[in-house]
Amino acid sequence: MLGHLFAAEWLKLRKRPLTRVLLATFLALLVLYLGLWALVIALQEGALSGGRLRIEVLNAAQTAQIQRQLSFPGIFGAVLGQVNSVGGILAVILAAGALGSDFGWGTLRVQLIRAPARGLYLLAKLLALLLALLCGILAGLALGSLIAVVASAALGLPSSLDGGALLALGPGILRSLFVILPYVLATFVCAAFGRSALAGAGGGLIFLALDVGAGSLGSLGTVSDAVLFVVNLMLQPNINRLVVQNATLFGLDPTVLASGLDLTRLPSLTQATVVVAAYCALFGYSAWRLLARRDVTGAG
Amino acid sequence: MSISSVIETEELTKRYGTHVAVDRLNLRVGRGEIFGLLGPNGAGKTTTIAMLLGLVRPSAGRAVVLGYEVQANPVAALRRVGAMIESPAFYPYLSGYDNLRVLAHAGGLPETRIAATLEAVELTARARDRVRVYSQGMRQRLAIAAALLPDPELIILDEPTNGLDPAGTAEIRALIRNLAAGGRTIVLCSHLLSEVEQLCGRVAILKAGRLVAEGAVADLLRRERGLRLRVEGDPARAAALLAALPWVHGVEQQNGALLVDAPVDRAAELNAYLTRAGVPVAEIGVNTSNLEQFFLEVTGDT
């Protein structure tokens, strides 16, 4: 039955214009992000003026970091970093649309008459959403690779793509999806609670903003180990740990461009995985509980 | 639940806080019936249907559909149920065909059924158009096609002819009759009481969540029968004369006519009696109440 429901959800998602718009937005922002860094490097190196005019805005370490981001294998870390920043916002919007619209259009009741197992309906929706996100990540990696080839050639960047980097892509992609998952599930909770896409998007984005804001509490960890322990039970430090792991996996040093990031105060990779999984379980259970226990009435 | 019952409810109740939407409803719908569920707005019809379809959890009581308790085993209970509840709901960005594909996938039904159901509601030609551009009538047809998709034993239709033109209405009514003739059970909710009267063998009427009348349409209407007559002369005098007869249980004046609660087989006797008394009868016949009159009486909306 899960397979049937997944097929239904995937059909809805892949034919939905919103999915394509969000994918196009992600790819456009990725081009903009990498293109601007390439422009900065070009100006820094004087590549646009044959070496006559150099505009130096970055120090040597920062320049090297950007150069790594624009070439293999660092480009993979840069793309996955974008997946976990702007991609997270777009994923929240997509998740809100996927569940919330079923309430708004009244199609939820039609679906549940045909397939009354609400837990499976929600799981199928989540799996279809993750597949869509995976497709988006792969498209981003493909586009990033193309940009890396062009940028490396144009700016004369050192670039090497070995088997190790390609093997690291699998875990890196899975980690990126894992990082997005709690926000998607929190969005499901908001959409199910508010019975609309607007409630889902609003709630999901507010949660995302609050969580990112809560990341600034990380500095409290300097007070004592006990405070650090409590701070590291929040979602954001654990998310940061996983994102950093993805960056370092491809030779990037995230502290170079984010000076406030103190890697020593971040939780361990194991703790980060466990805490994020716990948040996912909490949000997933809440979404299921809301959907399973509440009456489904007319269109919202 | 008896073997011939397709739907059976026992003390089915739904409360929203202090408001009782459905109050201890006991219903039985037999196999092959066209059953009408009637009631004024807010009577609890849609809530009842939603409970039968597992969308709304009962506060008390139980609903059994096709031999399975809906709350305990919704998958089995609803496997052979097709339903159209409230207004048609579809994904506007998908075509009619793709909307049915979504439902076919969700229910694990073969896609090969889609063409037949679209054909049944005459939507084949527009099946590849997006639902966004469908008229209300086309959406209504598509909703009926969706209800037919699982080759249902039980079809629940809420206002199935809403938004259809007269020709479309006639076609859908004919389709409903054909479906019932094929042995399917149909539960029909409609505000068009003439439609219910034409299609349904039995009806239940709800008012404020309570069942106020249930039975075969013919039986319900027969209860209301008596004689209806017009006299030449003073109707008040005629009424007084009739009231004196021992087998006349009541006389009521309505728009110049007299409604006489008396056995219909004594019409000739009554005619002769009034003529002898000097009040000639201009017109006499059976007072054939229709469902609308009956509905208004039992729901107190007269």
Cα angle for residues A259, A262, A264 (degrees, 5° grid): 155
Q: Is the pLDDT of residue A217 over 80?
A: no
Q: Which residue has the higher pLDDT, B251 or A135?
A: A135
Whether B85 sits inside 8 A of A15 (CB atoms) is no
Q: Are A129 and A71 contacting, i.e. CB atoms less than 8 angstroms apart? A: no
What's residue A300's pLDDT?
44
In chain B, where the domains are located: 5-221, 226-286
SS3 of B208, please?
coil
What tokens does B45 get? 């019809």
8 Å CB contact of A296 and B87: no
Which residues in A180-207 are b (16+ Cβ under 10 Å) and which e?
Answer: bbbbbbbbbbbbbbbbbbbbbbbbbbeb
Which CATH class for the B5-221 domain? Answer: alpha beta
Q: Read off the amino acid at residue A177.
A: L
pLDDT above 90 covers what percent of chain A? 75
Residue A213's pLDDT is what?
Answer: 85
The pLDDT assigned to B223 comes to: 61
CA atoms of A116 and A118, how far apart (whole Å):
6
Please compute the mean of the pLDDT values over residues A221-242 and round it to a whole number: 88
Contact A7 B105 (CB under 8 A): yes
Q: Which helix (H) or strand (E) holds B21?
A: strand B19-30
Distance from CA of B187 to the nearest CA of A (A): 15
List, for residues A32-65, the tens digit of each pLDDT value. 999 999 999 998 888 777 777 778 878 888 999 9
Alpha-carbon B228 to chain mean position = 27
Alpha carbon distance A72, A66 (integer Å):
12
Tell me the ipTM for this assembly: 0.90
Q: Which residues of B touch A (CB under 8 A)?
A: 46, 50, 53-57, 74-75, 78, 81, 83, 85-87, 89-94, 98, 101-103, 105-108, 146, 149-150
Give yes or no for residue A119 having a pLDDT over 60: yes
Confidence of residue A298 (pLDDT cuts 50, 70, 90): low
pLDDT of chain B, 302 residues: tens digit per residue: 555 799 999 999 999 999 999 999 999 999 999 999 998 888 999 999 999 999 999 999 999 999 999 999 999 999 999 999 888 999 999 999 999 999 999 999 999 999 999 999 999 999 999 999 999 889 999 999 999 999 999 999 998 888 788 888 888 888 889 888 888 999 999 878 888 888 999 999 999 999 999 999 877 776 656 888 999 888 899 999 999 999 998 898 877 889 898 888 889 999 999 999 999 999 998 877 677 777 877 787 55
Of B46, B75, B98, the CB nearest to A15: B98
Residue A97: closest C-alpha in chain B: B91
Judged by phi (left if over 0) then psi (alpha if -120 to 50, else beta), residue B282 lies in: alpha
Instruction: From residue B162, give the alpha-carbon distance in Å to each of A272, B165, B173, B198, B206.
Output: 56, 9, 12, 16, 20
- Chain A's closest residue to B75, CA to CA, is A116
**Residue A28 structure tokens:** 């456009």
> Which CATH number is associated with domain B226-286?
3.30.70.100
Determine the distance in angstroms separating the CA of B75 from the nearest CA of chain A, rounded to an integer. 6
| Plot region of A267 (φ>0 → left; ψ -120 to 50 → alpha; else → beta) | beta
Q: Determine the residue of chain A that is closest to B15 in CA distance.
A: A295
Determine which helix (DSSP H) or strand (DSSP E) holds A199, and give its type and residue range: helix A197-214
Calculate mean pLDDT across residues A267-281. Answer: 97
pTM of this structure: 0.87
**Which residues are within 8 A (CB) of A126 and not within 5 positions of it... i.e. 6 or more apart?**
A184, A185, A188, A284
Residue A259 has what pLDDT? 67
Residue-wise pLDDT for A65-105, tens only, equals: 999 999 999 999 999 999 999 999 999 999 999 999 999 99
Average the pLDDT over each of A174-178, A229-233, B88-92 and give the range with the smallest value. A229-233
